[in-house]
Every structure is written in structure tokens, then in C-alpha cells.
Structure 1
Amino acid sequence: MTHTTEWKTRIYLFEEEHTTKARVELDTGTTRLTGHGTARCNPTDVDVPEIGDELAAARAMEDLGAQLKRLAYGDMEDAGTRP
């Protein structure tokens, strides 16, 4: 059985006063999930915005991944199988 689908993802990054926040939105066509992540620059470190972007985005994607796994496990249980 062949199955092809497209999921849309957007990542938004916001930086203010040495703190970067990321929001990643996933739209599967039937489900929408949002992950959040934050990165803070240590006041003694050099401020490199790209690092904050990368860390905040990675943390937001980890959050989204955890939500997606919980959703899949719930669907598995509903289908009568175990995760």
C-alpha cells in the first residue's frame, strides 16, 4: 500500500534582550500542533544570534516531536495496539 502526504511546518524566531524564543507549527491537514523552545545567552558569553536561533528552534522541534509521539501513542491505543 502506497501512501503519500505533505505536512506543512513553519518556524518563527523572536529575539529580545539575550533571549530567543521559537515557535514551530505543524499542520498535517487533519491535526495542528505547536512546539515551543527558548534559548538564553549567558551574560558573560558573546552574543551570537545564530546560536540562539539554532538552540531555540531545536528545542521547539523537540517539544513538537514529543507531542507528535504522544498523539501517535494515543492513536495506537485507540486502534487496539500497544506503543
Structure 2
Amino acid sequence: MPHTAEWKVRLHLFEDDEGTTKARVVLDTGTTTLTGHGSAHCNPADMNVPEIGDELAASRAMNDLAQQLLNVAERDIEDVDASRPSTRQVAGRPT
């Protein structure tokens, strides 16, 4: 059964004056919207390289989103399994 879908992902990056980069990634599947968050902090002793903060914060936000999506999939699997008729037999009783 062929299936094609397009999901939209938007990534937002914000850096404050204290060297903290925050990321928000939003996944829109058309039926569900999930939002992941991540942040990165620049050590005051390190050189401030904004691209590294962006990469760290974005990857952490995407990791958060991936975990949420996995949780949704696991709940969906449980729901599908719960709605199936049982094929187990009770000992001594035919079904």
C-alpha cells in the first residue's frame, strides 16, 4: 500500500546577550504539531562562535523533537494493539 506524505519542519534560533543560544523546532504533520526545544551556553573562557551555538542548540531541539515523535509512535502502536481482537487462548478453553 503506497503512501506519500510531506511534513513541514521549521527551526528557529535565538541568541541572547549572555551567550545562550536557544532553538525551537516545530514539526507539522498536517494532523499533529510537535515542538522541540534545545539550548547551548558559551563558556565565558571560550571564543564566541555563534555557528557552534546554533549547531548545538538546533541538534538538542531536534533530539527533543525526535524523542517526542518516538513517544507518539509508541502510543499509537499500543493503541493499535489494544484494538485488535485477542488471538490468545485461555488454558482449557477454546476461543
Normalising TM by the smaller chain, what interval?
A: over 0.9
Q: Which runs of 5+ in 2 are unaligned?
A: 83-95
More strand by share: 1
1:30 aligns with 2:6: no
Residue 63 of structure 2: aligned partner: 62
Alignment-derived partner of residue 2 in structure 1: 2
Determine which structure has greater relative contact order: mean sequence separation of CA pairs < 8 Å that are 6+ residues apart, divided by chain length. Answer: 1
How far residue 63 of structure 1 moved from its aligned partner, in angstroms, is: 0.1
Give the whole-Å Cα distance in 2 for the aligned partners of 1:6 and 1:55. 26
Offset of 1:33 from its aligned partner?
Answer: 0.2
The separation in 2 between residues aligned to 1:72 and 1:5, in whole angstroms, is 16
Give the alignment's Cα RMSD to 1 decimal: 0.8
**1:22 positional shift:** 0.0
Q: State the partner residue of 1:46.
A: 47
- Higher Rg of the two aligned structures: 2
**TM-score, with length taken from structure 1:** 0.96
User: Identity of counterpart residues, as a percentage?
Assistant: 67
* TM-score, scaled to structure 2: 0.84
Q: Which structure 1 residue ranges, 4+ long, deviate > 2 Å from structure 2?
A: none
